[in-house]
Amino acid sequence: MPTNILSKEQYLEDRNNLIEADRSLRRDRASIQARSALEAEADEIIRRIRTEEATSIWRAEHPDIPHPFPGMEFLTGKQVIEETRIFEILSRMPKGALLHIHIGATVNTRTLLALALQQPAIHIRVPQLLSVENISSVLPEFMSLPTGSYNLDGESVSSNEYLPNTWVNAARARERFDPSLGGPEGFDRWIVNAMTLTPLEAYGTHNTVTKRLVHFLPIFKQYLRIFLLASVDDGISYVEVRMDFYFAKDLISADGKRTVTHREVLELFDATVNEVKGELVRENRGHKFLGARIIYTAFRALDPKDLYYYVDDCLNLKKEFPHIIAGAAILDRLSKRSLNQTEPGFDLVGNEDELRPLIDYIEPLLYFRKRQAQESVEIPFLFHAGETLGDGNLTDDNMYDALLLGTRRIGHGFSLVKHPKLLQACRERNILLEVCPISNEVLRLTSSMPTHPLPTIINHGVPVALCSDGPSVFGNMGLTYDFFQLLVSSEITGLSTLGVLARDSIQFSMMLTDEKQIALEIWEAEWSEFLQFIVAHYKQ
Amino acid sequence: MPTNILSKEQYLEDRNNLIEADRSLRRDRASIQARSALEAEADEIIRRIRTEEATSIWRAEHPDIPHPFPGMEFLTGKQVIEETRIFEILSRMPKGALLHIHIGATVNTRTLLALALQQPAIHIRVPQLLSVENISSVLPEFMSLPTGSYNLDGESVSSNEYLPNTWVNAARARERFDPSLGGPEGFDRWIVNAMTLTPLEAYGTHNTVTKRLVHFLPIFKQYLRIFLLASVDDGISYVEVRMDFYFAKDLISADGKRTVTHREVLELFDATVNEVKGELVRENRGHKFLGARIIYTAFRALDPKDLYYYVDDCLNLKKEFPHIIAGAAILDRLSKRSLNQTEPGFDLVGNEDELRPLIDYIEPLLYFRKRQAQESVEIPFLFHAGETLGDGNLTDDNMYDALLLGTRRIGHGFSLVKHPKLLQACRERNILLEVCPISNEVLRLTSSMPTHPLPTIINHGVPVALCSDGPSVFGNMGLTYDFFQLLVSSEITGLSTLGVLARDSIQFSMMLTDEKQIALEIWEAEWSEFLQFIVAHYKQ
pLDDT digits (tens, 9 = 90+) for A205-241: 444 577 778 889 999 999 999 999 999 999 999 999 9
CB-CB contact of B90 with B499 (8 Å): no
DSSP B283: T
Return the residue of B nearest to A5 by Cα. Answer: B366
CA distances from B380 to A324, B319, B427, B509 (A): 63, 14, 18, 11
What is the average per-residue pLDDT within A376-390? Answer: 93
Any CB–CB contact under 8 A between B200 and chain A?
no
Percentage, residues of chain A above pLDDT 90: 73
User: Which residue of B418, B429, B457, B486 is the best one to mutate when testing the A interface, meaning the one whose CB has the most A CBs within 10 A?
Assistant: B418
Contact residues, chain A, for B66 at CB < 8 Å? 342
Of B8, B400, B418, the CB nearest to A19: B400
Contact yes or no for B406 and A3 at CB 8 A: yes
Q: Which strands form B382-385's sheet, in the order they lie side by side?
A: B382-385, B409-412, B432-435, B464-466
A83 min Cα distance to partner chain B (Å)? 20
Q: CB-based contact (8 Å) between B21 and chain A?
A: yes
Lowest average pLDDT, out of A271-280, A387-396, A414-423, B86-95, goes to A387-396
At residue A345, the pLDDT reads 24
Q: A447 vs B450: CB contact, 8 Å cut-off?
A: no
pTM value is 0.91
Q: Burial code of B452-489, b = ≥16 C-beta within 10 A, e = fewer?
A: bbbbbbbbbbbbbbbbbbbbbbbbbbbbbbbbbbbbbb
Cβ pair B18:A403 closer than 8 A: yes
Decide if B366 and A422 are in contact by the 8 Å CB cutoff.
Answer: no
Give the DSSP H or E segment for A231.
Answer: helix A217-233
Q: pLDDT value at position A109?
A: 86
Contact A22 B421 (CB under 8 A): yes
Q: What is the pLDDT of residue B448?
A: 93
Q: How far apart are CA B225 and CA B269, in angstroms?
A: 9
Whether residue A168 has pLDDT greater than 60: yes
Return residues 430-489 of A near B (CB < 8 Å): 445-447, 450-451, 455-456, 459-461, 489
* Chosen from B56, B337, B451, B496 to mutate, greatest number of chain A CBs within 10 A: B451
Question: pLDDT for A331-372, tens place per residue?
Answer: 655 334 333 333 322 222 233 444 788 999 999 999 999 999
Interface test with A, best of B20, B76, B408, B459 (most A CBs within 10 A): B459
What is the structure's pLDDT at B378?
93
CB distance A456–B418 less than 8 Å? yes
User: Judging by DSSP bridges, how do beta strands A122-125 and B122-125 pair with one another?
Assistant: unpaired
**Are the C-beta atoms of residues B382 and B328 closer than 8 Å to each other?**
yes
Whether residue A461 and residue B420 make contact (CB cut-off 8 A), yes or no, is yes
Output the tens digit of pLDDT for each of chain B's 540 residues.
Answer: 344 557 999 999 999 999 999 999 999 999 999 999 999 999 999 999 999 999 999 999 888 888 899 999 999 999 999 999 999 999 999 999 999 999 888 888 889 999 999 999 999 999 998 999 998 888 899 999 998 889 888 888 999 899 999 999 999 999 999 999 999 999 999 998 888 766 555 534 444 577 778 889 999 999 999 999 999 999 999 999 999 887 777 888 988 888 889 999 999 999 999 999 999 999 999 999 999 999 999 888 788 999 999 999 999 999 999 999 999 986 655 333 333 332 222 222 233 444 788 999 999 999 999 999 999 999 999 999 999 999 999 989 999 999 999 999 999 999 999 999 999 999 999 999 999 999 999 888 999 999 999 999 999 999 999 999 989 888 899 999 999 999 999 999 999 999 999 999 999 999 999 999 999 999 999 999 999 999 999 999
Interchain CB contacts (distance < 8 Å): A and B:
164
Residue B336: the pLDDT is: 39
- Measured CA distances, A150 to A144, A171, A209, A217 (Å): 9, 12, 20, 17
- B491 and chain A: CB distance < 8 Å anywhere? yes
A263 or B1, higher pLDDT: A263
Residue of B nearest to A445 (CA): B451
Phi, psi of B428 (to 5 degrees): -75, -35
Top pLDDT among A411 and A210 is at: A411
In whole angstroms, how large is the CA radius of gyration of chain A?
24
Which of B18, B393, B492 comes nearest A421 by C-beta? B18
